[in-house]
Amino acid sequence: MNNNLGIIMKFSITVFVFTLIFFSNNIFADNIDGRVAIKVSSKVKIQILEDMRKNLTSIQLIVAALANEDFEQVVKIAGELGSMDHTEEAMMRRKSLSEEYRSLGPQLHMGFQSLSRDARDFGDVQHSLGQLSNVMNVCVACHQGYRLEVE
C-alpha cells in the first residue's frame, strides 16, 4: 500500500514538473517581450489592428505619391488620416484605453494634418519626407512601447 502511494506520489510530482516546464515556456516568453500590455476586448483589438493596417497602407501610398511628385494625392491621403474618427463607437473605444497610449493617437493625426497642409502649400518632396519621418516616429514609439492583449 505504502509502495503504491510512493509510485503515485512520484508520478504526480513528475506530471507537476512537466506541466510547470510546459507552461513556464509561455510565461517566460511573454515576459521577455517587455512591452506594456494594453488590455482590450477581442472586438476592440480587431478594430485597432484594422485601423493600423489602414495607416500602413496609407503611408505606402504617400511614399508612392511622393515618388511621382503627386502632391494632390499626398494632400488627399494625409488629409484623411489627419481627421479623427468621432463616431460614438470610436469615442467609447478610446475611453477604454490608458491615457498615455491614448495620447499617441492625436500626435499621429496632427502629424498627418501638417503633412497634408504643407504638401498643398509647398509641394516640396524633401519637406514632406521630413514630416512623414516624424509621423512614423510615433508609429515606432507606439509599437516599441505597447502590445494589445485580449482581456
Task: Read off the C-alpha cell for 17.
Answer: 514538473
Cα–Cα distance for residue pair 28/34, rounded to 1 Å:
11
Q: How far apart are the first and last CA of the chain?
A: 47
Q: Give the one residue of 1, 5, 21, 140 binding its own copies; rule: CB under 8 A.
A: 140
Cα–Cα distance for residue pair 85/112, rounded to 1 Å:
14
Q: How far is the CB of 3 from its own copies (least distance, A)?
A: 39
Show the CA angle centred on residue 57, arms to residues 51 and 58, nearest 5°: 90
User: Considering only residues 70-109, where is the footprint of its own copies by CB under 8 A?
Assistant: none
If we measure between CA atoms, which residue out of 112, 52, 104 comes closest to residue 78? 112
Question: What's the length of the chain?
Answer: 151
Q: How far is the CB of 12 from its own copies (least distance, A)?
A: 26
Based on the shown chain and the rule CB under 8 A, indicate whether residue 42 belongs to the binding site for its own copies.
yes
Based on the shown chain and the rule CB under 8 A, indicate whether residue 126 belongs to the binding site for its own copies.
yes
Q: How far is the CB of 131 from its own copies (least distance, A)?
A: 8
CA 2 to chain centre: 57
Q: Give the one residue of 37, 63, 91, 92 binding its own copies; rule: CB under 8 A.
A: 63
Residue 5 or 29 having the CB closest to its own copies? 29
Residues lying near its own copies in the complex (CB under 8 A): 25-26, 29-30, 32-33, 41-43, 46, 49, 53, 56-57, 59-60, 63-64, 66-69, 125-127, 129-130, 132-133, 136-137, 139-140, 143-144, 147, 150
